[in-house]
Structure 1
Amino acid sequence: MDLVTPGVGLIFWTALTFVVVLVILRRFAWKPILGALDEREKTIADSLAAAEKAKEEMAALNAQNQKLLQEAIAEREKILREAKAVADRFVNEAKEKAIEESNRIIASAQEAIRNEKQAAMTEVRNQVANLSLTIAEKLLKNELSNKNAQIELAKSFMNEIKAN
């Protein structure tokens, strides 16, 4: 049983060695180890705080991006409405100008037609007058070819003049 039960001296020296190792470890190892653990804990806490701050900033940026996107969409809609209004105005102005131009062309064409009609009527009258004179000349030449017809015509003109 000697082997199983330790002696008092062994217990004493083991306890003394444990206490010495404990003091040495506390003085030289535990403080640096605990300091390193505290430093690591602080670094982890700072990293978590930075991550939380970055998360909040990201949420704020997302909200700002959404706001800018909505503003851009509203601005695009406004620009499209203005462009449509301008295009409609240009189309209406072009239609009005085309109508005015067509009315002017029609009036000009009607005036030209009236002028041409007047000229044609004048030309027809002139031709009718020329034809009448030509016919009258030919008739008179035929009727006045003999001397008796000429004397008879002169007497009838004289009688008409006296009657008037």
Structure 2
Amino acid sequence: MDLIVPGSGLVIWQIIGFSIFFYILAKFAWKPILAALESRESSIEDSLKAAEVARNEMANLKAENERIIQEAKIERDEMLLKASETVKQMIEEAKNTASIEGAKMIENAKAAIETEKFAALEEVKVQVGVLALEIAEKILKKNFSEVAAQQALVERLVKDIKLN
């Protein structure tokens, strides 16, 4: 039984040794250990708070990113609509310009045709005048002494004019 129950002297020495050890620990080591534990606990709490703040900020950033994406989509749609309208307007302007230019070209062609027509008529008038002068010259060259010859010549010339 000696092995199971320690002696009273050993228990007293162990209590004294433990008390000295506890006093030294309390005097020199307990405060730094508690301070280290408290600082560790506060740093863990700060880290948890920072993580919570970061999580909230991430949620805010995500919401902000979604809002920005939506705005960008709306702006893109507006830009595409404006571009489409601009293209339609440019096509319409090009059609109008082409029709105006076509009308001008037609008017210029009509004017050129009219000018050519008048020039041709003037040329015909000149040729008729030249022919009339030639006929008058031939008539004047004939001898007008014979009345019957003059009448036959005039009749022949009149017949030539009616045939042409």
**Cα RMSD between the aligned structures?**
2.6
Cα 1:93–1:111, aligned 2, differ >3 Å: closer, same or farther? same
Partner of 1:27: 27
1:69-96 deviation per Cα after TM superposition (whole angstroms, max 9, x unaligned): 2212211221222122123212211221
Q: Please report the TM-score for the alignment, with normalisation by the length of structure 1.
A: 0.77
Greater relative contact order (Cα < 8 A, sep 6+): 2
Any unmatched runs of 5+ in structure 1? 157-164
Provide the secondary structure at the position in 2 that maps to 1:150.
coil
Q: Give the total of aligned pairs.
A: 151
Any unmatched runs of 5+ in structure 2? 152-164
Partner of 1:123: 123
How far is 1:139 from its partner? 5.6
Whether 2:66 is the aligned partner of 1:59: answer no
**Residues 74-153 of structure 1 aligned to structure 2 (within 5 Å):** 74-138=74-138, 141=141, 144-145=142-143, 150-152=145-147
Range with greater deviation from structure 2 (87-96 or 105-114) = 87-96
Q: Please report the TM-score for the alignment, with normalisation by the length of structure 2.
A: 0.77
User: How far apart in 1 are the matches of 2:111 and 2:97?
Assistant: 21
User: How far apart in 2 are the matches of 1:95 and 1:137?
Assistant: 62
Whether 2:33 is the aligned partner of 1:39: answer no
**Residues 4-15 of structure 1 aligned to structure 2 (within 5 Å):** 6-15=6-15
